[in-house]
Structure 1
Amino acid sequence: TVARERDDFHYGNFPEGFKWSVSTSAYQIEGGWNADGKGESIWDTFSHTPGKIANNETGDVACDSYHKVKEDVNLVKMLGVQQYRFSISWSRIFPDGTTSYVNQAGVDYYNSLIDSLLKIGVEPVVTLYHWDLPQALEDIGGLLNETVVDRFNEYADFCFKTFGNRIKFWITFNEPYVITWLGYGIGVFAPGINSSPGEAPYQAAHNIIKAHAKAYRTYEKFYKGKQGGIGMTMSTEWAEPKDPNNPSDVEAADRFLQSILGWFAHPIFKNGDYPEVVKKQVNERRTQSRLPVFTDAEKVEIAGTADFFAINGYTSRLEPIPGAIQATPDWLQIVPWGMRRLLNWLDREYGHPTIYITENGVGTSDATVDDQIRVNFYKAYINEALKAQQLDGVDLRGYTAWSLMDNFEWNSGYGPRFGLFEVDFNDAMRPRTPKRSSIYYNQLIRNNGFPLLQRDERITGDFPLNFIWATATSSYQVQHYIEGGWNEDGKGLGIWDVTSHTPGLISVRYKYLYVACDSYHKFDVDIELLSSMGVSHYRFSLSWPRILPSGNRTTINHAGIAYYHALIDGLLAAGIEPMVTLYHWDLPNALQEEFGGWVSPDIQDLFVEYVDICFKEFGPKVKRWITFNEPWVFTVLGYADGVHSPNIKDPGRSEYQAGKNMLLAHAKAYRLYEAQYKAVQNGEVGITCNSDWSEPRNQYRQVDYDATNRVMQFFLGWFMHPIWVNGDYPDVMKEYVAKRSAAQGEASSRLPELTAQEKSLIFGTADFFGLNHYTTNLAYETFSPDRINEHNSLQIKIYVIGSSWLRPVPYGIRRLLNYIKAEFGDRPIWISENGFEDNPIYDDYKRIFYYKSHLNEVLKAIKLDNVDVRGYCAWSLMDNFEWASGFTPKFGIYYVDFE
């Protein structure tokens, strides 16, 4: 069940009283490094040392929060959080780290911050140590000197006494693993010690644990009954075993977690001592153990010194991480499901503790307020936390986003931007600007999670009487056979035969590359499958080179014609109506070689010759024809990007010429049927275009709405606007290509004009609107649909973060159907392809979800929106050859064993 749910989105709400929070730390935001009597910290010293920080940047000013308490509190208020986690700078209160002198200005600063938060109804969550040890203490050994235990306790006691009447949550140390290993092991963080990485980190950790325990016992004795709770914030990456069925991999993953997290959590939450696996691992590396030993009395004092489990989690660890998305900084890979697994591990390892996520977030490499990646990150990670709480029973009480604003990111300087609010570090006033993620986080908080939207609610009801239910294939993807199907019985070479026989053009080479599904010899088996499904229609395509091997009438392959007659007759005998596509991308190679295929006007009349034969031969038995399947794909991917056959890379020119010739070929074929066959055969002719649904990436920016319109017009309007609206291309497309052409020094637009005669020929040449739809995208300002430059990816999915191009966004199909009605008129629509790639052989539950949810949205479009949808065709009948991707993607309702 957990495996099934891993990538599913879960709707639901967190429990009442769940704490939403946001966080910062003193050195990263305060600035005022030596203001009003503050003492120097190890990070002041470290950042002032050339070469230690990227670009030699420092936290001297940072976000200038020392002078901007009101502004920061206003940001917190805007988010709507219940808590704000910040840290106190030890050296701002005790300049030399000891109680010999109290800096009242520092005390006043934190009093002002705390009182301001309480005034707006936000609980302060205070971290006592977020890495900025007073330099005076470091000068006498810092965390390696055991006297730091008493000094920290004195500092903590002062804070409890001074601020504790208003603080209900205390955190002693933030991420002790980072402090010890990065600061005292490899020396890339302050204080930059790397002279004894085999000993210093363990001694520093030993003193941190004892300092934490002593402060906890002080709090427990004098303050707990009157104040609140106290704990330590630990950190780890989730460790996923490479092979969960291999015990050694599982042990390695557990050892990783124990070495980073258990090092500190095991003493506190279990028995006052280090995990056995850590002791064994450290002791085996040297004859004399480098791991200090706790006395029995210390173990007693340490065990149980936490009122909650605070965890910072950002990423997961496995080489490689399947499905991970690289983010900023480099160590952070986006693996949302790792959060759920980590929370479950904590729950089981430490006896069902109360858990707070005290940091979680993602950085971006540039300053931007349009931070879609952060929106996606929070949506995905928080949803996994919700699963842990609701589905798995983890006692999760709160979530804290890192961070309130862009800040000083330690040795990376001001490069990574983690903030919900942008900070302009080039402006002395350090202005703050809300990012899109701040709006989204506020929405999450107001909803207390992810309530099921009315948009996604299911309806019940029946589809219209005589609604067409179908499934589909295409000729090249299913017919070929290694012993002759691809060139058997007189069939000519198609362009995809050439592409698939050319090494390097298909993503993976297979020994069964030329076999496909062998439907040329197994169409009777295919018909049995169709009958068992109960479909009313079967959409398939004719292979032009199987009927006309050279592409023209000089040679007619009667064996090919006989094959299609046999297929059609078999379907009709089974009570299944054929719906035939005339061109599904397999152009005769002879025409590609002779004059360049679709870039030449000569192709138009040759296509009409071919369809004339088809109408004459099969028309008495075929009542629904599709001239072209997905012209956007075969023009753009075939003649611009070169990733589909015929593998021509000429962006900005060839695809526009190919598109014009395709439109005119379609129009001529339609007019031929209209003039010579329609009255007798009583059939319908249309065209199928593919279109994702697109929405603005940032719904608050007009430029993204403009980009969305461009995307839809270049996807769908390019071909459907001439046919359904006025015979010409959309104005947006004409203006955009003309503008780009002029900017590139072209004398005229690269989009060829349509004459008045051609417009008249094209307009009205469809009896139905054929639509192939799979997924939904977010469009954005810099999207450039004119392909003279490299095409900007617009595959930014809005379901969950993942690596596949196809993510289920069910409501997208309803919105697209409504768009078609509004843009092109109330047309009869035939959904000629819709489906999902899923790899399980039998238990394809994701595909079931995809069909169920998308069909429900289609039903809504029909019943609630009065869109005239006449039929639905599932792609595809069986697994097949998926073009440049080979046989890896599995779209079939039936599994095919290609071995």
Structure 2
Amino acid sequence: MKYSDINHVQNGFPDAFLWGGATAANQIEGAFDKGGKGLSTSDMAAYKDPYITGKVNNFTFNVTSKELEKYKTDPQNILFPKRWGIDFYNRYKEDIALFAEMGFNVFRLSVSWARIFPTGLENEPNEEGLAFYDKVFDECAKYGMEPLVTMSHYEMPITLTEKYNGWANRELVGLFEKYARVILNRYKHKVKYWITFNEMNMNLNSLYTGAGILADLVDNQLQAAYQASHHQFLASALAVKAAKEIIPNVKVGCMINHIESYAKTTKPVDQLQSLKSNQLNLFYPDVQARGEYPSYMTRYFADNNINLDIKEGDDKILQQGKVDFVSISYYMSHVTEAREDASKLAGSFDSPIKNEYLKLTQWDWPIDSIGLRIALIKLYDRYRLPLFVAENGLGAKDAISIDGKIHDDYRIDYLKQHILEMREAIKDGVDVMGYTTWGCIDLVSCGTSQISKRYGFIYVDLDDAGKGSFKRIPKDSFYWYKKVIASNGNNLE
């Protein structure tokens, strides 16, 4: 902070604040076999009906080698919702126009690696895939909307899983750098905000989704998760370095699924466990923002018999590829305590210990808007880099009312409380550069492959089996968010 700023409090969102929404290619595009696209890992995420199993959070994160073979050769009417998405591939103009109507000045989306390099092994990229994103970015530019582009968002060519078992193999570092350089060069005049990997820390929850690894083919899954993460750190750093060479004034960020951890009690052992849980969550931006492995992981690796294959020169690559900003998804906080399975729960997506002071969503996720403020303050204190809230939203079972509208006051209330706390964090001195709500339009859920777990401001007439008109209908929250953006976050009523 400059001396001249010491007596100045930022009372609201900065004038240049980026407001918008977030999506991922594998959850919206569809057209999985069109335009020269190859099959990706997400195309093999089969739908498992949670209403039959009784498991609300019936995650479809993982795929085994036997399942993969079955899905490829004998699907037997198994549903793969991410193959059809919401047909953004054909409806992108309509959708971007609706985003523009809300006033978006940023739209977060991802590029499908398999649409650019169908198998990941080609020497030359697929021109039809490159041209598709040209059209999408041109449409954004028409409305003055900045694309925030994720290079890798939970998908990669399935060939790389079959040939190398995904990011378990160091070969993927060079293949990813080739892919990154192609899209950076192609879109250097159209995209200035990039994220290398989406929620890299989710490797600890799903080797398949995060790293394209078939878990049944590795002996030690925790070892595989961290080795894959090391390879992704290198790939990310090389992509950052390439971006700096190719695009003037480019901004490249990292991203984690940030879950703020609270101690269950004031017992010192619980407080210590909370600290360690937060360290495991922050390990990923620690490496990408600081350019080196944090010292606390040395003991963690030793205690868990993890021996990473780190080559000479890797440390230099990490130092040369530090990110410009740190982005997070924020949906919930965790409660931790010192218990036998504490190390297994640390870094997990969903804690079994519930916070008695918080309400739950329909999918049993705790709602904690103040946790977002706490997280932003801690992150900024730690890194002194701009922060971007790249995902935040409420999954709910929306329904069309008798008047033909979707009244989602619960979503408005959820987002309002989080935006208020984000504004308070800015008053606290945190540099927050933007906010993109997750699923600004209904899309296929990452974790459960459902469409019925809806996040968007825009309802898509589609069910979990892919049946429907695909018609887009603005919800009440659409008009509310439009007012929020028009007032730069001042009008939240």
TM-score higher than 0.5? yes
**Alignment-derived partner of residue 242 in structure 1:** 264
Per-residue deviation, residues 191-215 of structure 1 (Å, max 9, x unmatched): 5525432321111111111110111
Letter in structure 2 aligned against 1:259: L
Letter in structure 1 aligned against 2:126: N
**Alignment-derived partner of residue 572 in structure 1:** none
**Alignment-derived partner of residue 426 in structure 2:** 389
**C-alpha spacing 1:75/1:292, structure 2 compared with 1 (3 Å):** same
> 2-side partners of 1:42 and 1:168: how far apart?
27
> 1-side partners of 2:491 and 2:89: how far apart?
39
> 2-side partners of 1:247 and 1:347: how far apart?
26
**C-alpha spacing 1:65/1:377, structure 2 compared with 1 (3 Å):** same
| 1:301 CA drift (Å) | 2.0
Scaled by the length of structure 1, the TM-score of the pair is 0.46
1:280 aligns with 2:299: yes
1:324 aligns with 2:344: no
| 1:423 CA drift (Å) | 0.8
Per-residue deviation, residues 200-232 of structure 1 (Å, max 9, x unmatched): 111111111111011111222x224x2511121
Q: Kindly tell me the number of residue pairs found equivalent between the two proteins.
A: 430
SS of residue paired to 1:441: helix
1:205 aligns with 2:235: no
**Alignment-derived partner of residue 377 in structure 1:** 414
**Alignment-derived partner of residue 273 in structure 2:** 252
> 1-side partners of 2:100 and 2:389: how far apart?
20
Higher RCO (C-alpha under 8 Å, 6+ residues apart) = 2
**C-alpha spacing 1:20/1:69, structure 2 compared with 1 (3 Å):** same
SS of residue paired to 2:263: coil
**Alignment-derived partner of residue 282 in structure 2:** 261
> 1-side partners of 2:145 and 2:176: how far apart?
27
| 1:249 CA drift (Å) | 2.8
| 1:325 CA drift (Å) | 1.1
| 1:75 CA drift (Å) | 1.7
Q: Which has the larger radius of gyration?
A: 1
Moved more, 123-132 or 51-60: 51-60
> 2-side partners of 1:52 and 1:250: how far apart?
30
Question: CA contact under 8 A between 2:161 and 2:212: conserved in structure 1?
Answer: no
> 2-side partners of 1:339 and 1:403: how far apart?
18
Choose the corresponding residue for 2:477, options 437, 443, 449.
437
> 2-side partners of 1:202 and 1:36: how far apart?
35
Structure 1 gaps, min length 5: 1-10, 454-899
Choose the corresponding residue for 2:89, options 57, 63, 66.
66
Question: CA contact under 8 A between 1:237 and 1:315: conserved in structure 2?
Answer: yes
**Alignment-derived partner of residue 310 in structure 1:** 327
SS of residue paired to 2:444: coil
Per-residue deviation, residues 787-837 of structure 1 (Å, max 9, x unmatched): xxxxxxxxxxxxxxxxxxxxxxxxxxxxxxxxxxxxxxxxxxxxxxxxxxx
**C-alpha spacing 1:128/1:206, structure 2 compared with 1 (3 Å):** same
Choose the corresponding residue for 2:251, options 229, 235, 238.
229
Question: CA contact under 8 A between 1:42 and 1:191: conserved in structure 2?
Answer: no
Q: Calculate the aligned-residue CA RMSD, in Å.
A: 2.5
**C-alpha spacing 1:291/1:340, structure 2 compared with 1 (3 Å):** farther
Per-residue deviation, residues 542-601 of structure 1 (Å, max 9, x unmatched): xxxxxxxxxxxxxxxxxxxxxxxxxxxxxxxxxxxxxxxxxxxxxxxxxxxxxxxxxxxx
Question: CA contact under 8 A between 2:289 and 2:322: conserved in structure 1?
Answer: yes
| 1:57 CA drift (Å) | 4.2
Question: CA contact under 8 A between 1:242 and 1:249: conserved in structure 2?
Answer: yes
SS of residue paired to 1:449: coil
**C-alpha spacing 1:30/1:361, structure 2 compared with 1 (3 Å):** same
SS of residue paired to 2:125: coil
Letter in structure 1 aligned against 2:298: K
Per-residue deviation, residues 127-183 of structure 1 (Å, max 9, x unmatched): 1100111011111221111010000000000001001211110111000111x1233
Scaled by the length of structure 2, the TM-score of the pair is 0.82
Map 1:493-642 → 2, pairs under 5 A:
none
**Alignment-derived partner of residue 346 in structure 1:** 379
Question: CA contact under 8 A between 2:196 and 2:253: conserved in structure 1?
Answer: yes
**Alignment-derived partner of residue 21 in structure 1:** 20
**Alignment-derived partner of residue 388 in structure 2:** 356
| 1:58 CA drift (Å) | 2.1
| Structure 1 consecutive aligned stretches of length 4 or more whose deviation exceeds 6 Å | 48-52
**Alignment-derived partner of residue 683 in structure 1:** none
| 1:328 CA drift (Å) | 3.5
> 2-side partners of 1:271 and 1:357: how far apart?
22
1:39 aligns with 2:38: yes
Question: CA contact under 8 A between 2:204 and 2:222: conserved in structure 1?
Answer: no
Question: CA contact under 8 A between 1:255 and 1:278: conserved in structure 2?
Answer: no
Map 1:139-154 → 2, pairs under 5 A:
139-141=162-164, 142-154=166-178
**Alignment-derived partner of residue 120 in structure 1:** 143
1:76 aligns with 2:99: yes
> 1-side partners of 2:328 and 2:47: how far apart?
31
Percent of paired sites with the same residue? 28
Structure 2 gaps, min length 5: 1-9, 50-57, 62-77, 336-352, 401-405
> 2-side partners of 1:16 and 1:411: how far apart?
35
> 2-side partners of 1:162 and 1:323: how far apart?
49
| 1:322 CA drift (Å) | 3.8
Moved more, 146-155 or 187-196: 187-196
Question: CA contact under 8 A between 1:46 and 1:52: conserved in structure 2?
Answer: no
